[in-house]
């Protein structure tokens, strides 16, 4: 009688699962970095005494684009109003 090799126990299946786990971990790290940067934008505005409306807070926290968040962080040091974060010339 031959042994049944279940797919989920097959080495290839193990490899595919591990690759999926690693991709998930990397995505989690990227999301964590984006969240940290978004929080930095908001903390900078708060430290400067600039009121942050909910609509601005939600937009900043919803972004996962590191370049966009970096641009907003740079702008957070010089804007006079939180909505100016989203204006290219601010």
pTM (2 d.p.): 0.68
Q: Which long-range contacts (CB under 8 A, 24 or more apart) does 35-39 make?
A: 35/61, 37/66, 37/69, 37/70, 37/73, 38/63, 38/69
- The predicted-structure confidence for 9-59, as pLDDT tens digits, reads as follows 666 667 767 776 767 666 666 667 899 999 999 999 999 999 999 999 999
Q: Is the dihedral angle over the CA atoms 29, 32, 38, 39 positive or is it negative?
A: negative
Question: Running DSSP on this structure, what letter comes out for residue 78?
Answer: T
Domain segments of the chain: what residues?
Answer: 8-86
């Amino acid at each position: 009688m031959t042994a049944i090799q279940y797919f989920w126990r097959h080495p290839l299946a193990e490899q595919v699962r591990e690759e999926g786990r690693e991709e998930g971990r990397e995505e989690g790290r990227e999301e964590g970095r984006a969240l940290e940067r978004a929080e930095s934008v908001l903390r900078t505005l708060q430290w400067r005494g600039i009121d942050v409306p909910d609509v601005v807070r939600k937009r900043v926290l919803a972004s996962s684009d590191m370049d966009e968040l970096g641009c907003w962080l740079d702008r957070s040091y010089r804007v006079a109003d939180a909505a100016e974060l989203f204006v290219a010339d601010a």
